[in-house]
Structure 1
Amino acid sequence: MQFDPEEDFPEAWKLLKPFMLSDETLVTLRNSMSRELLKGLARDTHDQSSVPCLLSYVQQLPTSHERGRFLALEMWPTNCRIMLVKFGSEKDIYMSSKCVIVPHTVAASRGTTLFNFLAYNIAVFVRDKKVEKDNLPMGIAFAFELNKLSLDVGILLRWTKGYGAQGAVGKDVVQLLRNALDEYKDIHINLNSIVNIAIGALMAVSWSHPNCRMGLIVGTNTNAAYVEKTESCELYDGDPSIPIMIINTGWGNFGGNGHLELIRNEFDKLVDSVSSVPGTKFYEKCISTLYMGELVRLIVVRLMNMGVIFKGASMDYFGIQWKMEMKSIMAIESDPPNVYTSAQAVMEKFRIRNCSQRDLATLRFICKTVSLRSAQLVAVGVACLINRMNSPNISIAVEGGVYRLYPSYQMNLNKYALMLTNPQNKFEFIIAEDSPGVGAAIVAGLA
């Protein structure tokens, strides 16, 4: 049967009403972000902005005529990838890579232990590829917060969950890795650059799509990078004749100046209070996969406690913080209309069996509403940057499984980005098939 949420599950409808954003609210948020962006670019107001607009010192885009072999290291919260990338022709990128899981004992130990571990694995890789003597340029694509002081100087501001290598915070990541690599006298690598993941995605896609001007991350965290005019970057003290500067927006912090208070609801505040960084990253906490799962879980728990959904079911599993994952939300939404096979399979994992259609329809409605808001808020940021660049044709590199694997999210992001963007600025989203490490390799080559 077809359910009408407002009539058939009024309690859920009432709880979710604050997640439903009007077009006017989205326009207000886009305009607020545009103002914060300008504050971030300006010298006098930079420190007060919730969109810090950090300089990347990457000032050229690939021409697709780059040739040669380059090395890259991709650093993610759970693993690293060491890559040898060879650019043969416009169509031909040869990539050989090795994925390295960072053991918890290493991630939680001292900074020197972590970088010695990375250097050891890089040494094994380059010897295996027989390029240890070639002094190949190497770039790092880095998924943690940095303060960039130049192309090859990135001061680590903080690790995310799981990393305790405190000795590295406040230090230059590139220098830490260089020091560790110095121990291997037979190895010659020119480690010359570091970029964040959004910039890596932008550079990787712009090699084959010359109109690419934005890198977008929607995954366990969210961020965006875009191409700005150098003259607008007041914090830049270098050569003003180079026309562009890629900016790392750091937009996950948007809302720090109160701009999101008009949409943050009791569940957002609850998620914030139990997060590893309470009181910060309000925009990210409304968007990223980690927090979407927890929002859905908290809403379901509230409805279970009210006795209106999954009556009599045990909360032993559903009551565990962070237990609801994004892949479960995608599965719940993947069923065709009036079919709830995948939704029931998800609930089986939580030891909740034989659910009624109405309960599963309510669950799907919750997932749909939370994920729609996430897509709308990403569209706010995307539109803000497209309008800022004001270019007739822009490609956007998207990194993260949500866009690739979640059709309704993709559709909603496109729909609302279109609504919030100036009509003369045409744009398209391109899934970053090549990883950000390829972008880091390109940056290393250009450097």
Structure 2
Amino acid sequence: MSKETDDNHSQLFYWFGNCWDNLFQRSKTSPSENIHSNLIDKNQKNSRFVSQAGKQIVTRDSNFDGLLHDPLEENITSILHTNENTIPWEDYKELMRITSPFHITVEALTHVMAAMEKHCQMGLDPSTKTDSDLKMLPTYVTNLPTKNEYGEILALDIGGTNFRTLLVKLNPNTESEVISEAHIVPDSKKILGNDLFEFIVDVLKQFMIRNKLDLNQEYVLGFTFSFASYHEPTCRVGVILGTGTNACYFEDINKIHTINDRSVLSPEATEMIINTEWGALGEKGCLDMLITDFDREIDKMSNNPGVHIFEKLISGMYMGRLAAEVLAALINQGIILKIQRDHKQSYRYYAPFHALYMLQTSHISEIELDTGRTFANTRNVLKKLGLDYATNADCAIISYTCRLISRLEITINS
């Protein structure tokens, strides 16, 4: 091998290595730094992610002006780092290009916060309510529990996936007792309102019989929010992050100008819980800067196109579909789930696209448990989808993509 060939090989090696070093912020000094900066751009040698065109997306020393730096980020990129030798450089570049929209910036988060606050305020004022994406519904609940409540109360919790019946036994002198049962609502009962409510009534009746409640006695019945992740008596905000999403909070009663009849309020009331219905944020375009082509496809294929934009960005119902859309794009570009057919590096696609659309949000949670060595969980998920063959590079890229999407939704939520 000639010296010139040797030098070219070394140069390419250092270039490739330094690109990966920049991705993972390795503190390393070598000639590769100068080589990389010359090949890409001297002004971009601190680049963290570099697109196919060499465009700087974020810099290491951005001081929160670029990509949000958080503890999850190192965990996300570590999957690629562990398997960097198995991923071809061209595939890596294309992966960075396709997934670049999912690197959230502080500017974008600031925009979301400002939009949310603006639409909340507009929703509380009758003169601007129609311009707000948020319903900001007054609940007329003006007090928190006092812990002096007593009696047996029935409750229903109808979520996007499960339906729960609860019996809550309150006693100021003892710990409250909650008896709960979960039920799946058959699809056949979701079409007509009458069928759904008949199903609920029948389930509630059987629940009362099993718990030896008097069917002739009147009980207080309430609809309840999904279970809290933890209990905090001083909590003033409630958020549901499940199949769907919503939030409520205590608002100064003097700022709520949409209360139709204030005579029903206690004279001592100073605050009221507001049901924001925040999943609708973005319906008038205020979140367009966050919307990717993948999100547009999901919205178009949903049963309610053009509405609940924020919910489609962050809720459990859509996370699996979003990951499937991105992975389908990676397959289409020949980056993952391909089998080498001959020595000319010609590939055929192994994975049928339709298999990916069985990917669920629960699968993403399972994939995120992988450490990046054997990818047992990722392989198990792929097997469930009927995809029995995957290289370590496939698994690394799939895991990275799922983690990136999960991190995006967590960050927007927070």
Please give the TM-score of this superposition, normalised by the length of structure 1.
0.66
Q: 1:201/1:44 Cα in 2 relative to 1: closer, same or farther (>3 Å)?
A: farther
Alignment match, 2:283: 256
Q: State the one-letter code of the partner of 2:104.
A: L
Alignment match, 2:252: 229
Alignment match, 1:126: 208
The answer (yes or no) to whether the contact 1:227–1:246 under 8 Å persists in 2 is yes
Query: 1:310 aligned to 325, 337, 347, which one?
Result: 337
2:237 partner SS? strand
CA distance in 1, matches of 2:385, 2:356: 13
Deviations 1:365-387 (A, max 9, x none): 111111111011111xxxxxxxx
**1:254 CA displacement:** 0.8
1:70 partner SS? strand
Matches within 5 A, 1:140-151: 140-141=223-224
Which stretch has the larger CA shift, 54-63 or 1-10? 1-10
**1:238 CA displacement:** 1.6
Q: State the one-letter code of the partner of 1:50.
A: D
Residue 327 of structure 2 corresponds to residue 300 of structure 1: yes
1:262 partner SS? helix
CA distance in 2, matches of 1:289, 1:243: 35
Alignment match, 1:92: 175
**1:296 CA displacement:** 0.8
Alignment match, 1:344: 379
Give aligned-pair identity as a percent. 29
**1:90 CA displacement:** 6.8
**1:75 CA displacement:** 2.1
Alignment match, 2:195: 113
Q: 1:135/1:10 Cα in 2 relative to 1: closer, same or farther (>3 Å)?
A: same
Alignment match, 1:238: 262
Residue 56 of structure 2 corresponds to residue 20 of structure 1: no
**1:76 CA displacement:** 2.9
CA distance in 2, matches of 1:329, 1:232: 41
Matches within 5 A, 1:28-107: 28-89=111-172, 92-107=175-190
Q: 1:294/1:101 Cα in 2 relative to 1: closer, same or farther (>3 Å)?
A: closer
Q: 1:117/1:335 Cα in 2 relative to 1: closer, same or farther (>3 Å)?
A: closer
CA distance in 2, matches of 1:210, 1:229: 19
1:227 partner SS? strand
2:351 partner SS? coil
Q: 1:103/1:267 Cα in 2 relative to 1: closer, same or farther (>3 Å)?
A: closer
The answer (yes or no) to whether the contact 2:328–2:356 under 8 Å persists in 1 is no
**1:112 CA displacement:** 2.8
Query: 2:399 aligned to 354, 360, 364, which one?
Result: 364
Residue 357 of structure 2 corresponds to residue 334 of structure 1: no
Greater Rg by CA: 2
CA distance in 2, matches of 1:321, 1:347: 9
**1:77 CA displacement:** 4.0
CA distance in 2, matches of 1:78, 1:329: 17
**1:134 CA displacement:** 3.3
- Between 1 and 2, higher relative CO (CA 8 Å, sep ≥ 6) is seen in 1
Q: 1:14/1:32 Cα in 2 relative to 1: closer, same or farther (>3 Å)?
A: same
* Greater per-residue strand proportion: 1
Q: 1:309/1:65 Cα in 2 relative to 1: closer, same or farther (>3 Å)?
A: same
**1:104 CA displacement:** 3.1
Matches within 5 A, 1:361-400: 361-379=396-414
Q: 1:122/1:328 Cα in 2 relative to 1: closer, same or farther (>3 Å)?
A: closer
CA distance in 2, matches of 1:301, 1:291: 15
Contiguous gaps of at least 5 residues in structure 1 = 142-196, 380-447
Q: State the one-letter code of the partner of 2:351.
A: M
1:138 partner SS? strand
The answer (yes or no) to whether the contact 1:201–1:215 under 8 Å persists in 2 is no
CA distance in 2, matches of 1:286, 1:102: 25
**1:264 CA displacement:** 0.8
Q: State the one-letter code of the partner of 1:265.
A: T
Aligned length: 317
The answer (yes or no) to whether the contact 1:290–1:322 under 8 Å persists in 2 is no
Q: State the one-letter code of the partner of 2:124.
A: L
Give the aligned CA root-mean-square deviation in angstroms: 2.4
CA distance in 2, matches of 1:350, 1:105: 26
1:25 partner SS? helix
Alignment match, 1:216: 239
Matches within 5 A, 1:435-446: none
**1:335 CA displacement:** 0.9
Q: State the one-letter code of the partner of 1:217.
A: I
The answer (yes or no) to whether the contact 1:54–1:247 under 8 Å persists in 2 is yes
CA distance in 1, matches of 2:92, 2:349: 18
**1:271 CA displacement:** 0.8
The answer (yes or no) to whether the contact 1:314–1:351 under 8 Å persists in 2 is no
Q: 1:117/1:346 Cα in 2 relative to 1: closer, same or farther (>3 Å)?
A: closer
Matches within 5 A, 1:424-435: none
Q: State the one-letter code of the partner of 1:48.
A: D
Alignment match, 2:343: none
CA distance in 2, matches of 1:23, 1:338: 32
**1:201 CA displacement:** 4.9
**1:127 CA displacement:** 4.1
Deviations 1:23-71 (A, max 9, x none): 1221122112111111111111112101221112222111223222111
Contiguous gaps of at least 5 residues in structure 2 = 1-80, 339-347
CA distance in 1, matches of 2:213, 2:298: 49
Alignment match, 1:135: 218
Please give the TM-score of this superposition, normalised by the length of structure 2.
0.71
Q: State the one-letter code of the partner of 1:121.
A: V
CA distance in 1, matches of 2:111, 2:286: 9
